[in-house]
Amino acid sequence: MKHFSFEPFKNWFGYTRRERRASFILLILIVAVTFIRFIIPDKKITYEETILKIPENQNEINANRTEAIYRNIKSSRISYQQRKPKIDLNSCDSASLEALPGIGPVLSARIIRYRNLLGGFASVSQLSEVYGLPEETFNMISGRLTADSSAIKRININTADYKQLIRLPYFDKYEVAAILKYRELKGRIGDLNEMVENKLITKEKLIKIRSYLNVGD
């Protein structure tokens, strides 16, 4: 039986015995490394694992820092506004109002018109009743305003006629009619609370209009 001979392969590759041995060892190493890499793949750090490595309280720390920065900014704004002289709603002119953020010529004219209609502002909060004034604008400028209630032009409830009373935006027509009828029957209103006691107006309404009325001497 004829034995299989590697001689043709040796002649073809042209390797010596030492070279063949080195090549065989190299081949074994390559196979071994490939096998190990296949069994134990490279460990990759995922995004989730990266997030999990952040200390549990890190987000809370960042939130606290952001809140602290916001408080400092807000405090600085408040301090800046407090240093500015406040504008009196009952004595200011259009130019003073237009200098406020968010107040243009139209809103300025409406504020002064409403002031004249009321006879003066009893409090800064009444500014929010001005038509077309956004709540955001009111919140932004209210800290820079004041209202001197001593400047209010009061109405004598015992001598005022229908036109004078109905001018006050808080009065309804039926309330004015009831007051005039009561005054006609009783002759005089001795105290503003008398109107509530006789159900001419509600207690809530009296709170709103008290600053604009008096009973005279």
Superfamily of domain 87-151: Photosystem II 12 kDa extrinsic protein (1.10.150.320)
Cα 205 to Cα 169: distance, rounded to the nearest angstrom = 11
Q: How far is CA 98 from CA 156, 161, 178, in A?
A: 34, 36, 41
| Per-residue pLDDT tens listing for the chain (217 residues) | 555 555 555 554 555 666 667 777 877 878 777 777 666 655 555 544 544 455 556 666 666 777 777 676 666 555 545 567 899 999 999 999 999 999 999 999 999 999 999 999 999 999 999 999 999 999 999 999 999 999 999 999 999 999 999 999 999 999 999 999 999 999 899 999 999 999 999 999 999 999 999 998 7
The Cβ of residue 113 has, within 10 Å, a number of other Cβ atoms equal to: 12
- Residues 182/189, Cβ–Cβ less than 8 Å: yes
DSSP-assigned letter for residue 200:
S
For residue 29, the model assigns a pLDDT of 78
**Sign of torsion over alpha carbons 11, 17, 22, 27:** positive
Instruction: Determine the pLDDT at residue 113.
Output: 96
Q: Is 213 helix (H, G, I), strand (E, B) or coil?
A: strand
How is the chain split into domains, by residue range? 7-39, 51-81, 87-151, 155-214
Amino acid in the structure at residue 50: T
